[in-house]
Structure 1
Amino acid sequence: MGFDAIWISPIVKNIEGDTAKGEAYHGYWTEDINSLNDHFGSADDLKSLVTALHDRKMYLMLDVVVNHFVANPSSDSTSLPQSFDYSALKPFSDASDYHSECFISNYDNQTEVEGCWLGDTELPLLDVNTENTEIVSAFNDWVAKVVSDYDIDAIRIDTVKHVRKDFWPDFVKASGVFSIGEVLQGDPQYVKDYTEVMDNVLDYPSWYPLIRAFTNTSGSLSELASTYTTTQSAFKNGLFTAGSFLENHDQARFQSHTTDSGLVANAVAWPFVNDGIPILYYGQEQGYQGGEDPENREALWFSGYEQDKPLYMQVKALNAARKLAISKNSDFTSTASKFIDQPSDNVLALSKPPLLTLLTNAGSSGSAEWTIPSSAGLFTGGETVVDLMTCKTFTVDSSGELKASANNGQPRVIIPTSQLDGSGCQTPDSASVDGAFGVRTSVGVMMSAVVGLTFLVL
C-alpha cells in the first residue's frame, strides 16, 4: 500500500493466563519490562523484522507503556486497597513502587489523572510511582537499551497524560528517536502542553470532530475545520509530525458507526491529506467493522489479506498521491494546509499545494459541488487539473476559478496535470507507490506514513 513504517504492539512480557478481562493478548498489560513477550516471538524474530524493514527503506515504531503494570488481585475483595503479589513484576517488585490504589473518578482533576489508577477492581492497572528517581532512571535506561538492542526507529508512548509532564523530556531524550504520544483528550488547549515535552502527539483533538463529521450526512464539517485550525496553532510544532488517524485499537472501528461508502471514503482520505503523519490501523483497509474493545481488535489473517478491496486500493492511491506531492514540493510536509471557504455546508476544500482535497459528507446517495475562487491563487486560467482518485479531469475557467463536482459522495484529491510529468494519471487499482520515503533527522525519524499493524491476536 506504500507505507514507510510499521507501528507494533509493546514487546514486553505480559501477565499470563485468564483475568477478569480475558487474556493479555495485546501487549499493554506489562509484567516484566526486561523480558520479551514470547507469544509475539523471540529477540531474533524482532531483529529479523527490523532488518527486513530497513532493507526496504522502511521504519519500525515501537509502542511503549510507562504508566502501569498489571497483576491480578490476590482476593475477590472490592474494598480498597486490594492485595497483590508484586514479586512477579519486574523490575518494580514492591508495593512502594506504585501509587496508592485509587481509581480515577474525575478526569478534570489532573492530580487524579496522574496519581490514581486505570482499570477497575476486577483488573486494576497498577500505577507506577514515576516520582521515584530510581524508577525514573530505570525507565530511561530501559528505553535506551531497547532502542539500541533492536535498532528501533521511533516510539509511540501509551497513556501519556497519566504520567507527570516533567517525566517525559528525559525519557524521550534517552530513547534517542522520534517520539509520539497518546493523549486521549479532545481539547487542543489541554493536549498542546504535551507537545512541549515530546516530539508530538496523536491528533485526538481533530479525531473527535472527524468522526462526528462523517458518521452521517448531517455531521458538521465546519467543526472539523475550526478544530483542526485551532490545533494547528496550538501544538508547539504544528501538526506536521502529529499522528493523523481514523481508527486505532482504543476506539470502535469507523464502520461500526456507518458503512455508507461515500462517508467511509471521505473519512479514510482525511489522514492522508492534512499536515499530520498518516496512520492506518490494520484491518481498516479490509473494511473491518468491529465495535468497542475488544471487538475492534480482530485478527487480520481472517481477511485473507485481500488486495482488491475498494479501501485497500483507495489507501494505495492516497499514499501515491502524497508521495507525488512530496516529490513536487520540497516544502510539502512543512507547509500548513488551509481551508478554502465553500458555499455549501456539506463540503470541505483543503489546500496543501500541489494537492487540493475536496471532501463531502453527502453520502453515497448524494452529490457535491465545490467552487475554488480565483482569489485562492491556486490555479491559472485555462489549466487542467486531475482527480488522482478517479483520473477525472477538470478545466479551470479563464479567471482562474475551478468548479468541481462528485457523484456518490466520493472525495477528490486534485493536482494540476502539469505535475504528472507526462506519466499520466493512474487509477487506484494501479497506483504507483514508489517515491519519497521518510528521512532520518537529528530527532530520530520523520515518517511520511505509518501503518498500524498493532495487534497480533495469538
Structure 2
Amino acid sequence: MIAVPVLLSLATGAFAASASEWQSRSIYQVLTDRFATSDGSGPSCNTGDRKYCGGTYKGIASHLDYIQNMGFDAIWISPITKNIGNTGYGDAYHGYWPSDLSGLNDGFGSADDLKELSAALHKRGMYLMVDVVVNHFAATSTPPSLTYNGFSPFNAETDFHPFCFITDYNNQTQVEQCWLGDTTVALVDINTESQNVVNTYNSWIKNLTSFYNIDGIRIDTVKHVRKDFWPEFVKSSGVFAIGEVLSNETDYTGDYTNYMDAVLDYPSWFAVTQAFASTTGNIALIAQNIPETQKYFKNGGISTGAFLENHDQPRFQSWTTDLSLVKNAMAYTFVTDGIPILYYGQEQGYTGGLEPASREALWFTSYQTQNKPLVDHVVKLNAARKASIAGDSKFLSTQMKVVANNTHNIAVQKGKLLTALTNVGSQGAAEKFELTGTGYSANEQLVDVLSCTNITADASGNVNIAFTGGNPQVIIPVSQLSGSGLCGSARSASTTTSSGSNNGATALGLSALLATFFGIIGMLPLLF
C-alpha cells in the first residue's frame, strides 16, 4: 500500500523528543525550495513565476552552520510527499499540493538525501520538524471531470468528501468537510471520517517519522479536519506535533491544544503585528491577548509556537521600514511562552508581501552574517532565552505576565527575563518606563543583553529604564550571563554564535490587510 514501510528495518531511532523537550528549542522555518541548492549555485528565482527554484535537502545540510550559529537547534522543512505537477497557479514548489503519500517530492532530493539531512541535524544535537498535509490532496479539476484514481493511496471517490467549496467559515461542518481552493487548483477534501482513511493515515505517519528519523511534525490546515481525528494521529506519529489553526480567536484556536501538543499562536500574531507595524499601533492588544491565551490554551499558552512571519503571510518588513519596530516585534517571539519560530530570510531583512512574494530565495544573500543587524539581534535573543532556561529550572513552565503597559510601551516578564517593548519608532522621543513588581531582589544587578547596558534594581526590586531610539530591551540578571556568550561572557561548549543582520522594508497597507483578516478570516481560500 505505502512504499516507505518496506525499509523500516533500516531506520535508526529519532530523538523522540517530548513536548517539554521541544519547548526549550528555537525553530528555524525553511521553505525547502528557496533556502539552498545542492551545488551552492544561485539560480534566478522570480517568486511571481511560482516555479521550482532549486532548493534541496542537500542544500539545507550544507548550510546548517548558518542556522545553528544564530542559536537555532531545530528546523522545520516543507512537506516532503509527492505533489501534483504544473497548474494554472504554477508548480507545487511549496509542497502543499500532495497527490501521493507513498512518493517523495523529488524536486527537493531523494530519500537518502532527506535521511542524510536528518542524520546531520542529529549529529549537531538539532531536531528535524517536517510539515505534513492531512486535510487534502490537490487536483486541477473538479467533479464531474475529476477522477480520483490518480491519487495514492486514497483513490476511491468514497475516500473524499463530496464536492463543495467552503462558503461559510462560521459553519464548522463546512470548514471540515467542504473543499479549499478553487477550480484552478482544488484541494480535494479527504474523508477523515472513513475508518480506512484513519487507519491508513495513522500507519503512514508512524512509518514516515520512523523511517526519516523525524523529531516533530507541523500539521497543515488543522481546523479543516474533525478534532477527534487528531489524538490518534498524533499518538501514531510518536513525535511532537504542532498544528496550524488560522484564526484570530483565542478560544477557537486554543481548543485545538486539547487534541495535539501545540498550535501556532495566530491570535498573538495578529496582536503583535498590529502593535508594532506602525508608531500608531495598538500595544494594548498584546496586554489583552496574554491572559486570553493563558485562559484558553492548554498549559496556559506554553503549548504554542510563537512567530512573526511564515510562508502564508506577508513578511513583517513589508509593512514597515523602521528597524526599531522590526526589532521590537521580533523580540516578542523569543520572550513569550511559546516555542520561538523564525521564518527563513527574516534575519536578512526580506520584505516580500503576500505570497508568493514572501517566498524569496535565500541564496541571493550569500548567507552573510557580518554587518547584518537582524542576524545579530536574533543571535542575542536566542542566547537570552537559552540563558534564562539554563539559569532557572522553572523558566519554561512559568507563565509570562504583563508588568506594565501604556499607549506606546509594554513590559512583560517570564521568570527573571524582563522585556520592555515600544512602538515609538526609531525617531520617537526617549521615554522612561518604571517597572514595579518584577520580583528582583534589592539592588540586583541586571543587564539589557541587546545593548549590554547595566541596570541596577532599586531597594524594592523595581527597575527604571529609558528607551532610546525606540529599541527594545531584554533584561536578565547578570548572574545568568555565564556561558551565554552575551555581553563579553564566555560561551559554553554547547553554545554557538554568529554576528550581523539586516534592515527594514517597505510600508504598505497593514491596517487594511489586518482589517480584512479580522473581517473575513474565515473566507480565506488558503490554496497553500
Question: C-alpha distance in 2, partners of 1:258/1:135?
Answer: 45
Question: C-alpha distance in 1, partners of 2:232/2:224?
Answer: 17
Query: Residue in 1 aligned with 2:4?
Result: none
**Structure 1 residue 20 displacement after superposition:** 1.3
Code of the residue aligned with 1:340 in structure 2: it is V
Query: Residue in 2 aligned with 1:13?
Result: 82
Question: C-alpha distance in 2, partners of 1:91/1:410?
Answer: 53
Please list, as runs of the form range in 1=range in 2, the aligned pairs for 1:88-107 lying within 5 A after superposition.
Answer: 88-107=150-169
Q: Give the SS at the match of 2:360.
A: coil
Question: C-alpha distance in 2, partners of 1:142/1:421?
Answer: 45
Query: Residue in 1 aligned with 2:28?
Result: none
Indicate conservation of the 8 Å contact 2:230/2:260, yes or no: yes
TM-score w.r.t. the length of structure 2 is 0.78
**Structure 1 residue 228 displacement after superposition:** 2.1
Q: Does 1:44 align with 2:108?
A: no
Query: Residue in 2 aligned with 1:380?
Result: 441
Code of the residue aligned with 1:406 in structure 2: it is F
Query: Residue in 1 aligned with 2:281?
Result: 219
1:189 to 251, 258, 282: 251
Please list, as runs of the form range in 1=range in 2, the aligned pairs for 1:293-442 lying within 5 A after superposition.
Answer: 293-308=355-370, 309-342=372-405, 344-366=406-428, 367-373=430-436, 376-421=437-482, 425-426=486-487, 432=491, 435=494
Which stretches of structure 1, 4 residues or more, deviate above 3 A after TM superposition?
421-425, 430-437
Question: C-alpha distance in 2, partners of 1:359/1:307?
Answer: 25
Question: C-alpha distance in 1, partners of 2:329/2:320?
Answer: 11
**Structure 1 residue 422 displacement after superposition:** 9.4
Distance 1:84 1:28, change over 3 A: same
Query: Residue in 2 aligned with 1:444?
Result: none
Question: C-alpha distance in 2, partners of 1:144/1:36?
Answer: 16
Question: C-alpha distance in 1, partners of 2:482/2:162?
Answer: 64
Question: C-alpha distance in 2, partners of 1:123/1:433?
Answer: 50
CA deviations over 1:100-133 (Å, ceiling 9, x no partner): 1111111111011001111111211111111111
Code of the residue aligned with 1:379 in structure 2: it is Y
Code of the residue aligned with 1:27 in structure 2: it is G
Query: Residue in 1 aligned with 2:353?
Result: 291
**Structure 1 residue 380 displacement after superposition:** 2.7
Code of the residue aligned with 1:10 in structure 2: it is P
**Structure 1 residue 169 displacement after superposition:** 0.8
Q: Does 1:35 align with 2:103?
A: yes
Query: Residue in 1 aligned with 2:499?
Result: none
Indicate conservation of the 8 Å contact 1:272/1:318, yes or no: yes
Query: Residue in 1 aligned with 2:340?
Result: 278
**Structure 1 residue 4 displacement after superposition:** 1.1
Question: C-alpha distance in 2, partners of 1:372/1:298?
Answer: 41
Indicate conservation of the 8 Å contact 2:140/2:183, yes or no: no
Range moving further from structure 2, 418-427 or 103-112:
418-427
TM-score w.r.t. the length of structure 1 is 0.89
CA deviations over 1:9-38 (Å, ceiling 9, x no partner): 11000101x211111111110010111111
Q: Give the SS at the match of 1:193.
A: helix
Question: C-alpha distance in 1, partners of 2:316/2:493?
Answer: 29
Code of the residue aligned with 2:278 in structure 1: it is N
**Structure 1 residue 327 displacement after superposition:** 0.6
**Structure 1 residue 161 displacement after superposition:** 0.2
Please list, as runs of the form range in 1=range in 2, the aligned pairs for 1:43-122 lying within 5 A after superposition.
Answer: 43-73=111-141, 81-122=143-184
Indicate conservation of the 8 Å contact 1:383/1:396, yes or no: yes
Query: Residue in 1 aligned with 2:66?
Result: none
Question: C-alpha distance in 1, partners of 2:79/2:480?
Answer: 41
Question: C-alpha distance in 1, partners of 2:455/2:100?
Answer: 58
Code of the residue aligned with 2:166 in structure 1: it is I
Distance 1:434 1:352, change over 3 A: farther
CA deviations over 1:173-204 (Å, ceiling 9, x no partner): 11011110000011111112211111110111
Q: Does 1:250 align with 2:312?
A: yes
Distance 1:434 1:231, change over 3 A: farther
**Structure 1 residue 139 displacement after superposition:** 0.6
Indicate conservation of the 8 Å contact 2:413/2:419, yes or no: yes
Code of the residue aligned with 2:72 in structure 1: it is F
Indicate conservation of the 8 Å contact 2:261/2:303, yes or no: yes
Distance 1:82 1:364, change over 3 A: farther
List runs of 5+ in structure 1 lacking aligned partners. Answer: 74-79, 438-458
Q: Percent identity?
A: 54
Question: C-alpha distance in 1, partners of 2:493/2:252?
Answer: 38
Indicate conservation of the 8 Å contact 2:420/2:474, yes or no: yes
Indicate conservation of the 8 Å contact 1:320/1:431, yes or no: no
Question: C-alpha distance in 1, partners of 2:303/2:486?
Answer: 29
Question: C-alpha distance in 2, partners of 1:14/1:414?
Answer: 46
Indicate conservation of the 8 Å contact 1:323/1:433, yes or no: no
Question: C-alpha distance in 2, partners of 1:338/1:314?
Answer: 23
**Structure 1 residue 415 displacement after superposition:** 1.3
Question: C-alpha distance in 1, partners of 2:458/2:202?
Answer: 59
Query: Residue in 1 aligned with 2:90?
Result: 22
List runs of 5+ in structure 2 lacking aligned partners. Answer: 1-69, 497-528
Query: Residue in 1 aligned with 2:9?
Result: none
2:301 to 239, 248, 262: 239
Query: Residue in 2 aligned with 1:450?
Result: none
CA deviations over 1:206-227 (Å, ceiling 9, x no partner): 1111110001111111111211
Question: C-alpha distance in 2, partners of 1:377/1:12?
Answer: 48
